[in-house]
């Protein structure tokens, strides 16, 4: 039987802070396939995340039995490449002051110290942040726009730069995008649509550059909306989910596990010939040229 087997592989998933989002679903899928799991968590929520783990408040179960186990949890703020980039007010913030090595370079250095050379097989970029996401693009400040690009798109470039040298040949880097990179999604503002467009463009170029330099495949998943804790920042997420359910090719809402399974496939040897790809996992919504409900309404009448 053909199956996904990631036994003996080590994965680093950046952007995991709870058990409700796509990042967690990817963790679960990779762990179920046999991979060892390390995660990077944003410092402001790191304490909440680790306490939730300690108190058994997170769903650690794996399909078929067993539980998720973490080799290591790293504090990671992907807005900063090196320690020199961290402003003083962040270094002195109570959520950061006791932490070290939370920049992308700092995490790369710590991963290498913990596991040695060529210690990674899979890197997942599940990071997005737009401080003005509720603002229409036309009302977005330069600072808000650049912050969205920095945290949501350039962070993948930086991770490829710094984690790529730690990856084995035939490794895989996967990120998460959204249809707003290609089409207008009202309410998804603050420069986030631009950031996702940059992420998809960078995926194609990094597929070439990281492929030639490190032997690594680079793909992104354009996922449908999910009513996760992080997505609540958009403000209209429940309406988006309902709209997708009504108008997708399959009249359903994609689940977190749908995206987790797609990520596991892209990270597996079964996807050895796939790189530079934007894979839509949205029940076919991206393929629709008009609202399905408009046609169905006419049929009923």
Domains and CATH numbers, the chain: 10-300 (3.40.50.720)
Which one of the listed residues 188, 243, 244, 285 is annotated catalytic?
Answer: 188
Residue 57's SS3 state is coil
Residue 275's SS3 state is coil
243 is catalytic: no
The pLDDT value recorded for residue 232 is 54
Identify which of 273, 263, 278, 271 has the alpha carbon closest to the alpha carbon of residue 33: 263
* CA-to-CA separations, 173 to 21, 231, 282, in angstroms, rounded: 19, 23, 20
The pLDDT value recorded for residue 292 is 82
Identify which of 27, 105, 108 has the alpha carbon closest to the alpha carbon of residue 61: 27
Chunked into runs of 10 residues, the chain (301 residues) has average pLDDT values of 94 96 96 98 97 96 94 98 97 97 98 98 97 96 98 98 97 97 94 98 98 98 79 65 90 92 98 98 92 63 48
188 is catalytic: yes
Report the C-alpha gap between 93 and 182 in whole angstroms: 37
The pLDDT value recorded for residue 291 is 85
Report the C-alpha gap between 14 and 87 in whole angstroms: 22
The pLDDT value recorded for residue 239 is 83
75-93: string of b/e by CB count within 10 Å (b at 16+)?
Answer: bbbbbbbeeeebeeebeee
Report the C-alpha gap between 65 and 95 in whole angstroms: 36
The neighbouring-strand residues paired with 122 are: 11, 172
The pLDDT value recorded for residue 295 is 63
| 96 phi, psi to nearest 5 deg | -115, -25
Cα angle 89, 38, 32; round to 5 = 145
Q: Order of strands, edge to edge, in the sheet holding 217-223? A: 70-75, 36-41, 10-14, 120-125, 167-177, 217-223, 278-281
Which one of the listed residues 145, 178, 244, 285 is annotated catalytic?
Answer: 178
The pLDDT value recorded for residue 300 is 47
Q: Sign of the CA dihedral 241, 244, 250, 254?
A: negative
Q: Is the pTM of this model over 0.85?
A: yes
Dig out the tokens for 199 from the structure. Answer: 């992420």
């Amino acid at each position: 039987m053909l199956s996904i087997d990631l036994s003996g592989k080590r994965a680093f998933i950046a952007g995991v802070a709870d058990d409700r989002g796509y990042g967690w679903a990817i963790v679960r899928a990779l762990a179920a396939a046999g991979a060892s799991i390390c995660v990077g968590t944003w410092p402001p929520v790191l304490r909440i995340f680790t306490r939730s783990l300690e108190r058994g408040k997170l769903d650690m179960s794996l399909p078929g039995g067993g539980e998720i186990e973490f080799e290591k949890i790293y504090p990671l703020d992907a807005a900063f490449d090196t320690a020199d980039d961290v402003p003083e007010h962040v270094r002195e913030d109570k959520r950061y002051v006791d932490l070290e090595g939370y920049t992308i370079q700092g995490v790369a250095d710590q991963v290498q110290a913990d596991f040695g050379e060529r210690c990674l097989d899979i890197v997942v970029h599940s990071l997005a942040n737009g401080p003005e996401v509720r603002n229409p693009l036309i009302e977005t400040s330069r600072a808000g726009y650049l912050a969205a690009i920095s945290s949501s798109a350039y962070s993948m470039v930086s991770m490829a730069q710094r984690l790529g040298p730690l990856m084995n040949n035939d490794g895989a880097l996967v990120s998460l995008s959204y249809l707003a990179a290609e089409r207008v999604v009202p309410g998804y503002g603050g420069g986030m649509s631009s950031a996702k467009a940059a992420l998809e463009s960078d995926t194609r170029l990094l597929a070439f550059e990281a492929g030639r330099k490190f032997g690594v495949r680079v793909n992104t998943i354009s996922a449908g909306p999910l009513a996760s804790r992080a997505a609540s920042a958009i403000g209209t997420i429940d309406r988006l989910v309902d709209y997708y359910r009504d108008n997708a090719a399959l009249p359903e809402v994609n689940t977190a596990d749908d995206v987790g399974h797609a990520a596991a496939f892209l990270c597996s040897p079964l996807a050895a010939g796939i790189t530079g790809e934007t894979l839509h996992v949205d029940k076919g919504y991206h393929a629709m040229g008009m609202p399905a409900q408009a046609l169905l309404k006419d049929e009923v009448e």
